[in-house]
Copies of this chain bind each other. A is one copy, B any other.
Amino acid sequence: MTIGGLVGRMPRPVTLATMPAEFEHATAVTLIDGTTPLTAAADGATARFAADIASGWGVAGMTNGGYLLAIVTRAMIAASRRRPLTVTAHYLKPAPPGPCTIDVTALRVGRRMATLRAALTVADGTALTVLATLEDPAAAGDHADAEPALTVASPVPPRDQCAARAPFDPAGGEDDPGFVARVALAIRPDDLGFTTGAPTGTPEVQGWFAFPDQAPDDVLDACAVIVATDAFFPPVFNLGGAFAWVPTVELTVHLRATPVAGPLQARFYNTVVSGGLLNEDGELWDSAGNLVAQSRQLALVPRRR
């Protein structure tokens, strides 16, 4: 039973919303062992899912880390029937396209919060290990009048002022352009300096994220937001230095709101590059400007070959 399509919609109150079909298919998970949902009585219980890591979701043969985390997150949503609040992945080894299993373990399932552990395993071993806390929105209550409100406004220029092309031009003779063709990015022109050998000196990228087959009414779910946190080119390219792979050690995403329909706005930037490591922070907003996620990853500084 493929339940990715079902549970991917569950956390949203608008149950008629649809997702871009290719992404929904590429992150579908199938329960193969265990029972769901993992409930309060089931601390330590497990659920095992099967999925297929789709081909064409990588760059130079390395499957995109955000896409892999989206698959794991879909399995955790399926296992708990809850909405992810904070998800952390540690990347252990590359995962090639092909079949994988996702093992989800309930560490603690409370009335409002559930903390789960998960691992995505391919033939070669575990590719990433994940900790997440998910929430039952029905148990969270209404906070609208109980707190001071604070947010970060989007600085991203309107989408029609961004460059609707991939920063890595896929027209390089390769048969499969890979990840850049699976997403539809529009980049603030100021941030494309590095593509012409003129890094801006400011390690930042702003732009818009959507899927190529995204319909105007499609609503991106938490899994799609997670892909968006790792979909843009590394802002460190605009600081100069090597133009090479930036391997993620750890990625944490705080999912702060469900997007309204439409593409996402995003800003990514580095603040500390030292000791061979860098942080990459991100903020993501929906098309109406609501902040929907904050992300931070620790990654290796790219090295000249």
Q: Which residues of A contact B (CB under 8 A)?
A: 43, 85-86, 88, 90, 92-93, 107-108, 113, 115, 117, 119, 125-126, 129, 131-133, 140-141, 143, 146-152, 203, 236, 239-241, 249-250, 252, 254, 256-257, 270-279, 291, 294, 296, 298, 301, 303-304
Asked if A152 and B271 make an inter-chain contact with CB atoms under 8 angstroms apart, the answer reads: yes
Supposing A85-B249, A273-B147, A273-B149 touch, asked if A92 and B115 sit within 8 A by C-beta, the answer is: yes
Asked if A147 and B90 make an inter-chain contact with CB atoms under 8 angstroms apart, the answer reads: no
**Residue of B at shortest CB range from A137?**
B275
- Tell me the minimal C-beta distance from A109 to chain B in angstroms: 10
Asked if B276 and A147 make an inter-chain contact with CB atoms under 8 angstroms apart, the answer reads: yes
Supposing A252-B252, A276-B141, A279-B294 touch, asked if A239 and B108 sit within 8 A by C-beta, the answer is: no
Asked if A256 and B276 make an inter-chain contact with CB atoms under 8 angstroms apart, the answer reads: no
Supposing A107-B90, A133-B250, A304-B146 touch, asked if A272 and B291 sit within 8 A by C-beta, the answer is: yes
- Tell me the minimal C-beta distance from A59 to chain B in angstroms: 21
Asked if B88 and A131 make an inter-chain contact with CB atoms under 8 angstroms apart, the answer reads: yes
Q: Which residues of B sit under 8 angstroms from A279, Cβ to Cβ?
A: 254, 294
**Residue of B at shortest CB range from A294?**
B279
Q: Which residues of B sit under 8 angstroms from A249, Cβ to Cβ?
A: 85-86, 113, 133
